[in-house]
Structure 1
Amino acid sequence: MAIILRFVDCDGFIRERFFDIVSVVDTNALTLKKEICKVLGNNDILVENMRGQGYDGASNMCGSWNGLQALFLQDYPYAYYVHCFAHRLQLALNGAAKDVKVLWRFFSMLTNIVNFVSASAKRRSELNLIRKVELNGLLDSGELETGRGLNQARSLKRAGATRWGSHYASITSLMCLFKETKLLLQEISDHGPNQQFRGDAERNYIAMMSFEFVFSLVLMDKIMRLTNFLCQVFQAKTQDIVSALNFVENTKMQLQDMRVHGWDDLFCSVVSFCELHGVDVPDMGARYMTGTHRSCQQKDFITFEHYYRVDVFNDVIDCMLRELNDRFLEQTVELLILSSALDPRNSFKSFNIEHIYVNLLRNFIMLISFQMS
């Protein structure tokens, strides 16, 4: 276990110091707490002066009842726990993706396609060769602009498990190389070295050319274009926490606005993408059928438009908004905003006597409640 102390020096600057590495017999919260208190006590640092805790999202660290942060809060009510906001956002958006079945299938198919094409240096070279041929054709016909930094060689990017920014990069790379990837999969499906490669290529081709996959691809590109900026904001070391929280609220407003007014624009983008790449668009007024399309398997009579607008589009945005609200708790956000009134930078430019008063009053009430319990 690595122990790091973060503090404010006499000049008002935030400092971090690596303190110690401790060998622990297990990772139970109570064991970790005892070792931390032991290390601090050996260095004549009073644990009761702790004013903050920062861990990852593991249950033994951030658990509300038996997590390490909860055990410290039971003894020291001012040791507020704040989860890393950048990591918290990654968890929120990944959680939303896992809660919607269509998105779960989409990211599974996306991973299979990218891994199949990128796993072999030969297939990557073939993809680049196809792209060069396509670019030369567009340049000769005058349909493509030329200039410094344009039309560079690209490749499909793999998505990481917890880094949402890598998911966005994976989606944008496939959208840029969609035609080239389609042609490569067709070529391998027809002339692959063996039956296994031909079968895998055909399976990925069928998945990629489905309307559900293209709809999810365009939808997540639009949504993650909003959230990707927020991810970058939280990872900036010089970002003001209050400004970052304002970005969270702004992102929520943009997602809500997209839910209310963004369907028509999204559907037009999906149809344009399908027409460009030869993907069949279903009749949105027709009945949506699941399974093997047998009548006995259908639960409700809904149209394709209802399914993609209500069960996919609205559901995805609702899940993301719910995750953002759950991860960025109102109490933690308000605490950080109130505490920003004590920021010493720029000659205490953020000083706000009302925020300080509210903060002190809240801490006093919490202290009284803690002593009474």
Structure 2
Amino acid sequence: MNIEVEKVVLDKAPHNAQYIAHDIQKQILYIFATKVKKKICTELGKNKYYILVDESLDESGKEQMAIILRFVDCDGFIRKHFFNIVSVVDTDALTLKQEICKVLDNNGILVENMCSQVYDGTSNMRGSWNRLQALFLQDCPYAYYVHCFAHRLQLALNGAAKDVKVVWRFFSMLTNIVNFVSASVKRRNELNLIRKAELKELLDSGKLETGRGLNQGRSLKRAGATRWGSHFASITSLMSLFKETKILLLEISEHGLNQQFRGDAESNYIAMMSFEFVFALLLMDKIMGLTNFLCQVFQKKKLKIL
């Protein structure tokens, strides 16, 4: 259908060419990424912009730095684009700055046009002396540093939870329960089988509403160490699977493989069925329903700060 493609594929390439080799796929993705970045640079032009940078470990344990650009384009529209992800040797402020400048220079983006920088609150990012925001201020005196609002909210919630013993014990017990049930594929499958049996019983009795998107398969979710919003997801997942989790823990405590396994299941069962845990579960579900909404608002492209 495409004459240019036909010339290459039919005239020059073997008839069995599928172009699904790993190296070819990477080349195609690189071409796509290059075109997307060129489009973003065209929208940006010579306008002012600010950067959002965060770094974390990938699955292989390598440090990765994500760079996001936010700016007003030539037509007056606010744009916010994921621009690049870079592997870094370490998270030293000078290394991060060099890598960010390299990405900007390679794409023809002037560093001096930076008017703001947004990071989390770690010391290598926010420090007033020889930290990332301070290093950029030397080159761009108007590139003011803003601590991510969503991250600040998460830090405040984390700090508040540590000061309330009941809440801190609750999250500790919640983590133990989720980790115990989700530790093996077998236990996750058993939980799903219990849920399916419960759903079937409710459907047969007519006590459960049916329809598209309802009664989806679910699993318990672990709370992340750095994302307080994941704690809310962990709470809601346990609430939706509370009965199934209770049945599973009870079965393991009675018919587990060995004494230690049965003891761990029983201790988690006792903790989960305690008044303190259930009260904190319901309380934190209500409170974090509000804070999670606020956290999501902080991450919107358009925000009325008042």
TM over 0.5: yes
**Residues 184 and 65 (structure 1 numbering): CA distance in 2 closer, same or farther, change over 3 Å?**
same
1:199 aligns with 2:263: yes
Instruction: Tell me, yes or no, if the aligned pair for 2:72 and 2:78 is still in contact at 8 Å.
Output: yes
Q: Would the aligned equivalents of 1:69 and 1:81 in 2 still touch at CA under 8 Å?
A: yes
2:303 corresponds in structure 1 to: 241
Q: What percentage of aligned pairs have identical amino acids?
A: 80
Q: Tell me, what secondary structure is at the counterpart of 1:51?
A: strand
Gaps of 5+ in 2: 1-64
The change in CA–CA distance for 1:102 and 1:17 in structure 2 (over 3 A counts) is: closer
Selected match of 2:174 from 102, 110, 133: 110
Deviations 1:22-78 (A, max 9, x none): 977x6554676688779989979474x542122232212112555332455577552
Structure 1 window deviating more from structure 2 (60-69 vs 210-219): it is 60-69
What is the aligned residue count? 240
Q: Report the equivalent of 2:161.
A: 97
Match for residue 119 of structure 2? 55
1:145 partnered with 2:206? no
* Partner in structure 2 of residue 230 of structure 1: 294
Cα offset for 1:211?
Answer: 1.4
Q: Do the aligned partners of residues 167 and 32 (structure 1) sit closer, same or farther apart at CA in structure 2, a change above 3 Å counting?
A: closer
- 1:168 aligns to 2:228 (yes or no): no
CA distance in 2, matches of 1:20, 1:138: 47
Maintained 8 Å contact 2:93/2:124: yes
Displacement of 1:171 in angstroms is: 0.8
Gaps of 5+ in 1: 247-373
Code of the residue aligned with 1:114 in structure 2: it is: V
Match of 1:273?
none
Structure with more relative contact order (C-alpha pairs < 8 Å, separation 6 or more): 1
Find 2:142's aligned residue among 69, 78, 81.
Answer: 78
| 2-structure distance, mates of 1:173, 1:45 | 46
Q: Which position in structure 2 is the counterpart of 1:216?
A: 280
Compared with structure 1, are the counterparts of its residues 133 and 21 closer, same or farther at alpha carbon in structure 2 (3 Å cutoff)?
Answer: closer
State the AA in 1 paired with 2:224: G
Change (3 A) 1:130 1:4: closer
Aligned positions of 1:359-370 closer than 5 A: none
Q: Give the match's secondary structure for 1:54.
A: strand
CA RMSD in angstroms comes to 3.5
Residue 274 of structure 2 aligns with an amino acid whose one-letter code is S
Query: How far apart in 1 are the matches of 2:235 and 2:85?
Result: 41
Contact 2:88 2:95 in 1 (8 A): no
Shift of 1:170: 1.3
CA shift for structure 1 position 115: 1.4
Q: CA deviation at 1:137?
A: 3.3
Q: Give the Cα–Cα distance (whole angstroms) in 1 for the partners of residues 87 and 202 of structure 2.
A: 61
Q: CA deviation at 1:178?
A: 1.2
2:187 paired residue number: 123
Do 2:86 and 2:99's aligned partners in 1 also have CA atoms closer than 8 Å? no
Structure number with the higher helix fraction is: 1
SS of alignment partner, residue 86 of structure 1: helix
AA in 2 matched with 1:241? L
Answer whether contact 1:94 1:162 (CA < 8 A) is retained.
Answer: no
TM-score w.r.t. length of structure 2:
0.64
| Kept in 2: contact 1:5–1:19 (CA 8 A) | no
Tell me what 2:219 maps to: 155
Indicate if the aligned counterparts of 2:188 and 2:219 stay in contact, CA closer than 8 A: yes
For the Cα contact (< 8 Å) 2:297–2:303, is it kept in 1?
A: no
In structure 2, the CA distance between the partners of 1:212 and 1:38, relative to structure 1 (3 Å rule), is: same
